[in-house]
A and B are shown apart, each in its own frame.
Chain A
Amino acid sequence: MTRRSSVFAALLLAAGVVAIPEAARAHAALIEAETVQAIRLHAQYDTGEPMVEAQVIIYAADSPTRVWGLGLTDAAGVYTFVPDDTEGRWTIQVRQAGHGATAHVELAQDAVPVLTASAGAAGQGWPQRALMVALVAWGALGTALFVLRNRKRDNASA
Chain B
Amino acid sequence: MHLPDGIVPVEMALAGYGLSAGLAALALSRIRTLPDPQAEVPRAAMLTTVFFAASLVAVPVPPASVHLMLAGLMGVMLGWFAVPAILVGLFLQAALFGHGGVTTLGLNGLILGVPALVAMGLWRLAGGRWPDLAALGAGAGAVVVALALFFGIVLAGLPTELDGAAERAALAVFVLAHLPLAMAEGVIVLVTLRVLRRVEPRLLPGV
Interface residues of A (CB under 8 A from B): 45-49, 51-55, 57, 67, 70, 93, 95-102, 119-122, 124, 129, 132-133, 136-137, 139-141, 143-145, 147-148, 150-151
Complex Cα–Cα for A150 and B151 (A): 44
**One of B1-9, B74-82, B120-128, B192-200 contacting the partner:** B1-9
Task: Tell me, yes or no, whether B203 is within 8 Å of chain A by CB.
Answer: no
| B126-159 to A contact mask, C-beta < 8 Å, 1/0 | 0000000000000000000000001101100001
* In the complex, chain B residues whose CB is within 8 Å of the CB of A150: 38
Given contacts A97-B174, A143-B45, could you give 4 more A-B pairs where the C-beta distance is less than 8 Å?
A: A47-B58, A70-B162, A97-B167, A99-B64
Interface residues of B (CB under 8 A from A): 1, 3-7, 38-39, 41-43, 45-46, 48-49, 52-53, 56, 58, 60, 62-65, 92, 96-99, 101, 150-151, 153-154, 159, 161-163, 166-167, 170-171, 173-174
Structural contact, A51 and B63, CB atoms closer than 8 A:
yes
Structural contact, A45 and B161, CB atoms closer than 8 A:
no
Structural contact, A98 and B41, CB atoms closer than 8 A:
no
Structural contact, A144 and B41, CB atoms closer than 8 A:
yes
Q: Whose C-beta in chain A lies nearest to the C-beta of B49?
A: A140
Complex Cα–Cα for A70 and B160 (A): 12
Q: Whose C-beta in chain B lies nearest to the C-beta of A129?
A: B56
